[in-house]
Amino acid sequence: MDLDLSGKVALVTGGSSGIGAASARMLKHLGARVALADIREPDAAALGVGDSLTVTVDVTQPAQVDNMVDQVIDRYGALDIAVNCAGVGMPVKAPVGETEIAEWRRLLSVNLDGSFLCMKSELAVMQAGASIVNVASVTALVGVEGASPYSSAKHGLIGLTKTAALDYASAGIRVNAVAPGFIDTPLLRDPDEQTRRRLSEAHPLGRLGTADEVASAICFLAAPAASFITGSVLVVDGGYVAR
């Protein structure tokens, strides 16, 4: 199976933490040159990706996103792999009728508009053979009580992924998504023991996933091993949506 990314240039948004940081480390391990981008300035050395390019970006801001991609091209001369992972969770849950419009817009803005803006800038410089992996969620496939903005944004991201896959298939650019279950990262905000147990039990494998387990799926989709896969959603959820 060809997972060799030698000579490839990879950009990871949301690279300062969790799934993005794990993906950046794994992409580098597989041979890629990696650029990390995040709203919180990435510390490449601390994240274990050495001398990688780091970019501070708010993915909701079109000019900043264009600048991010420009910096990658200036430094590395190409963009072969993009992992759009920047995202925010929902600390306070509410039914649809009690959801504040500001919260709806915040979630949609980062989790859907942000991915759109990144893809728009990335696709403008990508060549045949390039590949994008978007980080969706199981909440893109099923509803989640009290989390309509998050679930709607992630459902939208799947539509965006499939449509971009069709738009760019003839250009030889693949676009896929992963749909993680609940993963043990800072996005879960240190759930108390009871919440952790409840979330763990929601997965037939009986535990939360790890950032590395999602990164493995991301790297597979980004690699030549997945050369005939586009427009697909790889579910990484310990069986969560199989129920």
* Active site amino acids: 150
Contact with ligand NAD (CB under 6 A): which of 5, 10, 17, 168? 17
* 129 versus 207: smaller Cβ distance to ligand NAD: 207
Among 137, 148, 152, 161, binds ligand NAD (CB under 6 A): 137
108 makes contact with ligand NAD (CB under 6 A): no
Near ligand NAD by CB under 6 A: residue from 3, 144, 187, 225 = 187
Sheet holding 9-13, edge to edge: 53-56, 33-38, 9-13, 81-84, 131-135, 174-180, 233-236
DSSP, residue by residue, 110-175? IIIIHHHHHHHHHHHH--TT-EEEEE--GGGTS--TTBHHHHHHHHHHHHHHHHHHHHHHTTT-EE
Closest CA relative to residue 70, chosen from 7, 28, 124, 2: 124
Candidate residues 39, 107, 132, 133; the one interacting with ligand NAD per rule CB under 6 A: 39
Decide: is 238 part of the binding site for ligand NAD (CB under 6 A): no
DSSP state of 109: I
141 forms part of the interface with ligand NAD (CB under 6 A): no
Paired tokens of 131: 């590949």
Beta bridge partners of 82: 11, 132
Note whether 65 binds ligand NAD by CB under 6 A. no
Tokens of 17: 């933490």
Stretch that binds ligand NAD, among 28-36, 79-87, 100-108, 169-177 (CB under 6 A): 79-87
Residue 34 binding ligand NAD, by CB under 6 A: no
Question: 190: exposed, middle or buried (C-beta count within 10 Å: 0-12, 13-18, 19+)?
Answer: exposed
Q: Which is nearer to ligand NAD, 172 or 191 (CB)?
A: 191
Closer residue to ligand NAD, CB minimum distance, 13 or 161? 13
State which residue, 121 or 185, has the beta carbon closest to ligand NAD: 185
Residue 193 makes CB contacts below 8 A (sequence gap 6+) with none
Closest to ligand NAD by CB, 92 vs 128, is 92
Which residues contact ligand NAD (rule: CB under 6 A)?
13-14, 16-20, 38-40, 57-60, 85-88, 110-111, 114, 135, 137, 180, 182-183, 185-188
